[in-house]
């Protein structure tokens, strides 16, 4: 996408307003910002961190952990689907015969 297609969306994260330039849907940008704000608020409420930079770093670690865990689940699911597909092919192949 070109520079002309980017939109600026105002978002509020941890009581700070940011102008985010993105080629994506502004509602999606707002949704991301709400999630980051939620995680930062949870970190702030559940730790002794009061410095916003420390809260942001801890929130980033939490979000990275979620991402890595989700990626691992997806890889496990992909492996399971591949394994089950191969099992089905093995079972069905003799019944349908091989195609020329």
17-76 tens-digit pLDDT: 999 999 999 999 999 999 999 999 999 999 999 999 999 999 999 999 999 999 999 999
pLDDT band for 97, please (50, 70, 90 cuts).
confident
Cα end-to-end span (Å), the chain: 45
- Helix, strand, coil shares of the chain as percentages rounded to 5? 70, 15, 15
Q: Can you give the pLDDT at residue 1?
A: 46
Sign, CA torsion 85/86/87/93: positive
Is residue 4 over pLDDT 90? no
C-alpha 27/C-alpha 36 separation (Å) is 14
DSSP 3-state assignment of 46?
helix
């Amino acid at each position: 996408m070109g520079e002309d297609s980017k939109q600026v969306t105002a978002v509020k994260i941890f009581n700070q307003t940011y102008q985010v330039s993105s080629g994506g849907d502004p509602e999606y940008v707002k949704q991301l910002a709400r999630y980051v704000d939620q995680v930062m608020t949870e970190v702030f409420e559940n730790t002794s961190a009061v410095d916003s930079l420390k809260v942001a770093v801890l929130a980033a670690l939490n979000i990275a952990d979620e991402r890595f865990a989700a990626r691992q689940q997806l890889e496990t699911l992909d492996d399971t689907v591949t394994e089950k597909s191969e099992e089905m092919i093995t079972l069905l192949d003799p019944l349908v015969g091989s195609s020329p």
